[in-house]
Amino acid sequence: MPRGSTSRRWRPCATTCWPGSAEERSEHERDRPGPDGHHRVPGVPRRAGADARARGWRGGAGLPGHLRLRLPGARRHPRAAGRRGPPTVTWFDESRLDDPVALERFDLRLRTLAESGARVRREVGEAAEAIAEAVARARDADRPRAVVAAGPDSRLLRAVLEPACPVPFVAWPSPALPGWAGGLDLVIVLAPDGGDVRTASAIAEAVRRGCQVVVGCPPASLVAEHAVGRDVTVLPTSTRDQLGMAVAMLSFLDQVQLGPATSPDDVADALDEVATRCAPRRDLAVNPGKALAIALADSTPVVWGGTVLAARAARRVAESLRRATGRTALAGDADVLLPVLEATRPRDVFDDPFADDTGEPRPMLVVLDDGSQDAVVTEQRHLLTAAADERGVRVEVVEATSGSEVARYASLLLSGTYGAEYLRLALVED
């Protein structure tokens, strides 16, 4: 050390590059106890972490909360991430209703609706021979003791036949038949898809019991395979259209005097008339389908029908609106919908119509009018419209007052479905 230096003389380091340095340490330093384990995690050997990492783990061996280096798949946080950008905003673009490019993109959906009348004619035409065979067999036998509409698609037949069937009528959507059903009863089934296992089970049970069976289904299907027997008639379907198949079945029941008068041409003409009035190329000023979509743009639909068939159409229209927009759409009886209207905040004449409304959309009452003059229906409609007028709720009426009951039902259903599809077309996400 140079003279005059006050620095302490450092011993050689204890690293491996100085082999003899370990022996040069003092006795005190050599006997001083070192740490029992890892300097960060007491009680864990110094090399345990390295050994664990070599085996593909992170963290010390024997510690809780081990993490794998590779997760088996992507995982999503249960809460919405705030760093993925602003939320999507959906708004109604009225100009798209007359935009040829936008209409062309929705051509398949709108064309399917326009072909509703043609599908009814096709279904009835292809099933004409089978209907004649079933009618001849029914005339040779006695009138059935009861009519059982089996399968999950029996609700439409129930709405039509319950008020008009001259014998007891039962809608039975469960996979088994009623315990009393037997050889004296007629079982009718609608199976447009033909692949429902429960419907096939019900038909097999009906054949086993000796019931008269008339089933509408595709010829090569699971249901058709079980519809084999002496008293079984299959009404073939090629379009798998539920309404067309129902009209074919109702035509058979009309001819054997077990249902109301049903004219397939009348139903098809009513559908064609709606398709003409709601055609895509028709201006929105004279297009009821587009006008309904505009009315529903910023509202929560509350759909009501007074008669049994109109109520059935209201439920189907509400389903179409929910499917098309993902929004809330209500349908039900008057006593169910009236509290919804009565709970609506009355509209204030001083409200700014251009102010941003952060609350829920206001309801809009959609009345499906099939021309019924029943006193109960008239009273219920008056209660609903009075509650709507009192609170400033808009009322939109869809009318179908000509033709048979089934034709009016088909017209109301197609008009509401057009409104739902035009609403889907005009909604834009940004």
Where are the chain's structural domains? 93-115+269-347+360-429, 128-236
Q: How many residues does the chain have?
A: 430
DSSP codes, 234-284: EEE-SS--HHHHHHHHHHHHHHTTSS----HHHHHHHHHHHHHHT-TTS-G
The continuous run of DSSP H or E covering 318 comes out as helix 308-325
Q: Find all residues with CB under 8 Å of 296, minimum gap 6, and list them.
A: 321, 364, 366, 396, 419, 423
pLDDT value of residue 141:
85
What values do phi and psi take at 42, rounded to 5?
A: -60, 145
Do the first three CATH levels of 93-115+269-347+360-429 and 128-236 match, i.e. the same topology? yes
Q: Record the pTM.
A: 0.77
The CATH homologous superfamily for domain 128-236 is Glucose-6-phosphate isomerase like protein; domain 1 (3.40.50.10490)
**What CA–CA distance (Å, rounded) separates 426 from 294?**
9
CATH of 93-115+269-347+360-429, one of 3.30.70.120, 3.30.210.10, 3.40.1800.10, 3.40.50.10490: 3.40.50.10490
383 residue type, one letter: L
Closest CA to 302 of 375, 232, 388: 388
Q: Which residues of 410-421 are buried (b: 16+ CB within 10 A; e: fewer)?
A: bbbbbbbbbbbb
pLDDT value of residue 357:
54
**What CA–CA distance (Å, rounded) separates 230 from 227?**
10
| Sequence-separated contacts (24+) of 3-7 with Cβ below 8 Å | none
Return the DSSP state at 350.
T
pLDDT value of residue 416:
96
Region of 132 on the Ramachandran plot (φ > 0 left; ψ -120 to 50 alpha; else beta): alpha
Q: In which residue ranges of the chain is pLDDT below 50?
A: 1-2, 5, 7, 10, 15-31, 37-38, 48-50, 52, 54, 56-69, 71, 83
